[in-house]
Structure 1
């Protein structure tokens, strides 16, 4: 049985952290962790030590694969530990305490569709649970096994299937293997002058298959906000067989097979490749920021922009706490970050129109920003600060976790008539729940990540000093309070973080019972031995 060191997963020689976000060498050092902890009263005086795989109890695999599959499988402890969980706060806190949960017995790296088929056939016959694993960036318990009904667990890592197989320049589309991580995907498209241009925060460490299986949201704040919008057709391997949907620009022929497997999170089949719609790389860009003294007036400004035909690529609203944290504003202002891009025409006029709408609703600043940002020119200071903080934030979260802080995010979406009251209720009730759980004051920040003519996606960050050694339970209490607010306002349990295992109660409440019945029947038909990602979407 082969073994190997845990790969970086991005085509880089840098080493991925087995327990935390991103690269191991990008995590805050002890001194920076201590400085971060000083910002939250009640945290530890010094950071928890970095966890080591050598300190974990990793049992021998409970099953051995047949010789024909041996070359695809690793039993190396480092590789197995790195595939035990995702990268939610719950995962980080458990790893820091040496309690990562059920570590998979085997990690498979298939090279082609037939390998996936063979692995599923073998696992089904042996009662081995198969957990599909893309880049491992799940923040909802989507890539870990919880339970004891299977004799062993196989983590199915598709990152060896990472090629752009075919490019159709005429139709501007490409057939891409599902294991391609964001940077590798874009690197292969660049010589053709094309781009998928789907940039979630996890872009560097997540795969196309992961985006499809979780219906991921990208960087576009309006219009093409989700990976769904880019799909032409998909190939899916299930225990009952494999199939490829027709590659079409659109179709009215009954329920869509692609729509069924989008968001299926590996519960019904393994997405192995997809035809994706591409676009020309943008040549014209312009961005600017606008400040508001009143967050609710800022919400009105964002709604006006979303209901116009301007379609900004970026329309992120930061509340005062989020603006302060990112360095976008230091004076208690809320900040609206606007950005436009195009492959064919200058966008300065569209930015100017959006700024005019924002100022009509109480925004200040932005005057002259369209010209100074220029098409392809530098963005203003607030925009640059926000972008840098956006990419750095998961690392800082892990640094605060080492100080005993509970720092996590959750997101949702609701129609505009409910968004203002929803945001206020989350701030008040989640803050109260955090204080009750810990005895410490909490910070609850909000930003809008995606906006639509009929609603918006608020994204919340919670930070509070936890109970030493009991940080996971604290977060679970806080998350329960948050979910209750979302349920009361009939806001979705998740806009783009997927369901996984953590959001199952909320998803069960949100979906109609006849649809749940259909999903259970589909599970029976496609995965009769119940080995694919047990506990996700259906029991």
Structure 2
């Protein structure tokens, strides 16, 4: 297994080679004929560290260039481009690797006393500028920046088999926590696209969405209680299946993106590991009819594990379809009983709306597997396109069913027109439904266009602005599961009610009076 990539997504051994980048770029006329080279860390100019940790904490800090470079950015397109160009002006001065809550308290106390910013890093997979430091516009910068990495705190501390729950440290990445739950026959059953690289704490702090498309789609649904270290004290909520005792303390920190405190552990609801699985793909000649079929599935109460609708462009890009069809990938699973009957019921719903099942019907449809492979490979392809000078943007949203078709068509038309105006050539705009609810879908858009070397970030920013504007105009959320970070902040400010913004600012002032935790995210 290769090392974690410092500049792009995932592992180094999965990144596209130069030849693969050239072959991929040839499919989009107008791109460069050669890929941007990947700088070696020893070639990079890393700013000199401005701060030195106190002696008592020094063993938990690193100022090594590899650590600082690897913690400068998340994994958004603009992060990849800046890394490829060697732009490390905002690299953290230090990376902290605490091993206990007490050490986190000491780090926060020292940072507050020195006005040093602390950026909770999670697994570093943010695609919205959530784990980087950006100097305040017109304001006083911090005296230094610490990237707080909790991956040394990655243990399943306790398993309650009776209540089917576990106490898990926040630094545990997906595979690490699942490996520890497997001997108990249990699973968290939470698999975001970043599962291999992201952490439980990051999922909680961003209200992440998992792979499963219905029912328990967000990490919120799986939380029993949380422990959080703030600059003014440590708090832990009670373990309860449910409670009506006033506003939930966990809800204050779920989605707070590290601005109020550092989530250090949580009791999480678990499930028996599934033993029965089946999947199928269904083709639709008409996208509107496909949307009606997915709505009927979502409102049927059958809760498929997978229910991904790919529009014709996305289906073609994923290798699932080649004849202009919209494709529905549907899957079911169970820990204790066969699922073929449930799959048959879902296929009946799809057929009643004009869908036709693809493949040989053996319960292990090849198109479904092609989609899964494409889904996992997509971030690496994005990085390859970025090296060739393409602009690649993904943004996701959610709206109610009565507005879904209008939103889909408006984004394709308006963002498509903006892309052509910004880049001078038509782009590719595809869409898939990642999650579906009885009252609406989550739509995930991919934009690919020809950029100009040296102007990629300006073009990307303009495309991002155009996308957020159309979402706001249709009252669709600025993010369904990627988080707000710094990139979605303008859209988030428009979406939230002002009284709530006042309350959030007050909570920030109370819990982080020196303003050192992830400055610029959610509030000023």
TM bucket normalised to smaller: over 0.9
In 1, distance between residues paired with 2:392 and 2:88?
Answer: 18
Root-mean-square deviation over aligned CA pairs: 0.9
CA contact (8 A) 1:288 1:380 kept: yes
Residue from 410, 423, 438 that aligns with 2:395: 410
Contact 1:427 1:444 in 2 (8 A): yes
* 2:134 is the alignment partner of 1:142: no
Distance 1:181 1:242 in 2: 23
Instruction: Give the distance between the partners of 1:265 and 1:41, measured in 2 at CA.
Output: 39
Is 1:224–2:212 an aligned residue pair?
no
Does structure 2 conserve the Cα–Cα contact (< 8 Å) formed by 1:41 and 1:440? no
- Residues 109-149 of structure 1, C-alpha deviations (whole Å, 9 max, x = no match): 00010010000000000110000011100000000000061
Give the Cα separation in 2 of the matches to 1:300 and 1:59: 54
* Matches for 1:202-351 after TM superposition, within 5 Å: 202-351=194-343
* 2:423 counterpart of 1:430: no
Query: TM-score scaled to structure 1, two decimals?
Result: 0.95
Are 1:198 and 2:190 counterparts? yes
Cα contact 1:97–1:469 (8 A) shared by 2: no
CA distance in structure 2 between the partners assigned to 1:157 and 1:365 by the alignment? 46
The answer to whether 1:58 aligns with 2:58 is: no
Per the alignment, residue 381 of structure 2 pairs with: 396
Q: Is the 8 A contact 1:42 1:440 kept in 2?
A: no
- SS in structure 2 of the partner of residue 516 of structure 1: helix
| CA distance, structure 2, for counterparts of residue 19 and residue 51 of structure 1 | 9
Deviation at 1:408, TM superposition (A): 1.8
Partner of residue 487, structure 1: 472
Q: Deviation string for 1:3-26 (max 9, x for gaps)? A: xxxxxxxxxx63111010000111
Q: 1:381 aligns with which of 366, 372, 380?
A: 366
Map of 2:347 onto structure 1: 355
Say if 2:18 is the partner of 1:30: yes
Q: Single out whichever of 228-237 and 346-355 deviates more from structure 2.
A: 346-355
TM-score of the pair, normalised by structure 2: 0.98
Structure 1 counterpart of 2:146: 154
Inter-partner Cα distance in structure 1 for 2:41 and 2:522: 31
Matched, 1:170 2:158: no
**Cα distance in structure 1, aligned partners of 2:225 and 2:167:** 9
Q: Of 112, 115, 136, which residue of structure 2 is paired with 1:124?
A: 112
Check the 8 A contact 2:281/2:359 in 1, yes or no. Answer: no
How far apart in 1 are the matches of 2:303 and 2:463? 35
The secondary structure found in structure 1 opposite 2:177 is: helix
**CA distance, structure 2, for counterparts of residue 27 and residue 488 of structure 1:** 37
Distance 1:172 1:342 in 2: 16
Which secondary structure state, in structure 1, belongs to the residue aligned with residue 523 of structure 2?
A: coil
Measure how far apart 1:53 and its partner are.
2.1
CA drift of 1:57 comes to 2.0
Deviations 1:486-513 (A, max 9, x none): 0010000000000000011111110000
Gaps in structure 2 of 5+ consecutive residues: none
Q: Is the 8 A contact 1:43 1:466 kept in 2?
A: yes
